[in-house]
A and B are shown apart, each in its own frame.
Chain A
Amino acid sequence: MIRQTATADRELVDAAGADLGPIGSLAALVQYRELIRNLVFKDLKLKYRGSVFGFLWSLLNPMVMMVVYLVAFKYIMQIRGSGFVFLLLLGILPWTFFASSAGMGAGAIVDNGGLLKTVHFPRAVLPLSSVLFNLAQFLLTILVFLPVMLAIYRTASPALVLFPVVVVLQLAMTAGIALALAAGVAFFRDIRHLLDIALMVMFWTTPIVYDYTQIPALWRRVLFLSPMTPFVLAYQQICYYGRVPDREVCIAAIVYATVGFCGGFLIFTRFQHDFVEQI
């Protein structure tokens, strides 16, 4: 049963892998993909195990939110726009993916102290599996809602092939932010509280409950300061308006995805060897 140990003499390397660099760290992550997969499935199982309605809860949450906003905006405040429900859904679901990933990712390092102190593995596995868990939830809910909405509103178009591309870009941006937050919280616990406030502000600076086209042109640019704005607009333009997203939306999405992921990953790898002594 026990494998004979290799006999060839090999060169010596740093035990902690400190000499790996960003590319080497990325390669180490690929090696640990089985761990990422296991952690994602663990979270999914634990979330629904023991509950009678299971996955239905994940559908109920956005539905209740939509009803609340629908009543508030359409019937009480009398703001009428066509496609309100569909546009709202295309905002809420990606937003939930982003906000939950940021929240879980922020705690991914500090909440796993025992593991970090006893086993050596690529630390980025922890925040990334939080993000992928939320991605799985997002995809499952969108797979239920999207076909229904497309059928009701009759807005299916060839532009839908771009939908997965936007998901991948949002995933990159979200992963980068989760990595940066996980590293930041290891050193400054305040960031977690700050995050709650920042997410609240961002929720209202992203065109989720209001229609982007009804915003004065001057303010539209300001909305792009929220990293979620281009992604929400892209989903809405692809699914509801049935067209390729505007040029500035595409550019902003690509910039946020690239800068977000690279920045977050570099910050994380720069500090990852110091986490264990901060928790």
Chain B
Amino acid sequence: MTPLIDIRNVSKRYWLRKNRSGDLKSRVLSMVHTDKRETREELWALRDVSITVGRGESVGLIGRNGSGKSTMLKLIAGIHRPTSGACLVSRGIQIGTLIELGIGFHLELSGRENVYLNAAIHGMSAAQIAEIYPAVVEYSGLRDFMDVQLKNYSSGMHMRLAFAVAANLDPDVLLLDEIFAVGDEEFQKQCRRTMEQFLAAGKTILFVSHSSYTVREVCRRVCLLEHGRLLFDGPADKGLAAYQKLMRQPAG
């Protein structure tokens, strides 16, 4: 069976630019002042990582800050491209990304307008949006606030609306980045319930988290990253144990 996501020997290099300036004056000046010259340092966010994910799997990506977890999600989402290797996905599948909640929301627009705009950003057609709209309102529990401008929402309401859109986008693969770090207990429960429903429907989830509890609850498989390398890929309990052990060692 062909995998849904196939990451083959992927490396990703970022250039960290120091004294970066896009303007001409400082570029000319930097020819004289060597200390102000733009320097580039390379940072390998991922090195030679290979992972395949099949349909219906739930994979937790764990590791320290800066270990390359988010980069991995952005490569699969198609936001970044690998420096070497190939990041392949099954043709025509819809990939839903929840990397930051509320991106593309506009404070001056009403809740309803924001739902439409946000769903469109994720590639939905007008008919599809009209179809999911009642479910989004229901899920968010913000029925009375849909015609209120977003600037009058509390941050919690803002987040609920954003997740309600994401939960109803109904993609084949859902990429999640640390969304449980925010929100009250009820919201977190709702998120987990949604993820369980997703998995029950045979969908695939890739999930970045620092919470062992949530990872254990949602994922059967984990990938442990350290300095951009894949240290472990296997059952969740073993992976989490390896992660705990790693965290006891000093970073370096």
Contact = CB atoms under 8 A, between A and B. Distances in A.
Given A12-B90, A46-B108, A35 B202 contact: no
A170 B204 CA distance: 46
Contact of B124 (A3, A34, A116): A34
Contacts of A155: none
Nearest to B74: A117
B80 A276 contact: yes
A217 interface: no
Contacts of A119: 77, 79, 97, 99, 103-104, 121-122
B121 A35 contact: yes
Interface string B111-127: 00100110011111110
Interface string B55-98: 11000000000000000001111111100001111111101010
Interface in A69-100: none
A133 to B, nearest CB: 14
B203 interface: yes
A247 interface: no
Given A2-B197, A120-B97, A190-B23, A15 B77 contact: yes
A187 B120 CA distance: 27
A114 B76 CA distance: 18
B185 to A, nearest CB: 24
Given A15-B77, A15-B87, A190-B22, A5 B202 contact: yes
A277 B80 contact: yes
B198 A34 contact: no
A49 B198 CA distance: 39
B234 to A, nearest CB: 23
A32 B120 CA distance: 7
Contact of A18 (B2, B81, B135): B81
B129 interface: yes
A273 interface: yes
A189 B81 contact: no
B170 A2 contact: yes
Which of A114, A120, A277 counts the most B-chain CB atoms under 10 A from its CB? A120
B14 A3 contact: no
A160 B24 CA distance: 47
A255 to B, nearest CB: 32
A152 interface: no
A38 B2 contact: no
Given A5-B201, A32-B123, A189 B22 contact: yes
B104 A17 contact: no
A157 to B, nearest CB: 39
B103 to A, nearest CB: 5
A42 B198 contact: no
A3 B201 contact: yes
Contacts of B89: 12-15
B113 A45 contact: yes
A6 interface: yes
Given A18-B81, A45-B113, A34 B87 contact: no
Contacts of B3: 12
B23 A42 contact: no
Contact of A15 (B88, B126, B172): B88
B63 to A, nearest CB: 20
B23 A38 contact: no
A254 to B, nearest CB: 33
B207 to A, nearest CB: 16
A4 interface: yes
Contacts of A114: 100, 103-104
A190 B129 CA distance: 40
B97 A5 contact: no
A162 interface: no
B79 A5 contact: no
Given A32-B123, A38-B120, 20 more contacts: A2-B198, A3-B201, A5-B201, A5-B203, A6-B93, A12-B3, A12-B89, A14-B88, A15-B5, A15-B75, A15-B88, A34-B124, A34-B129, A38-B116, A38-B117, A45-B113, A117-B99, A119-B79, A188-B22, A189-B23
6 contacts: A6-B93, A9-B2, A15-B76, A15-B89, A46-B108, A119-B79
Q: Can you list the 10 inter-chain pairs with the closest CB atoms, starting with the nearest?
A: A189-B22, A12-B88, A16-B78, A35-B120, A120-B78, A15-B78, A2-B201, A38-B120, A118-B99, A9-B2
Interface of B: 1-3, 5-6, 14-15, 22-24, 55-56, 74-81, 86-93, 95, 97, 99-100, 103-104, 106, 108-109, 113, 116-117, 120-126, 129, 135, 168, 170, 172, 197-198, 201-204
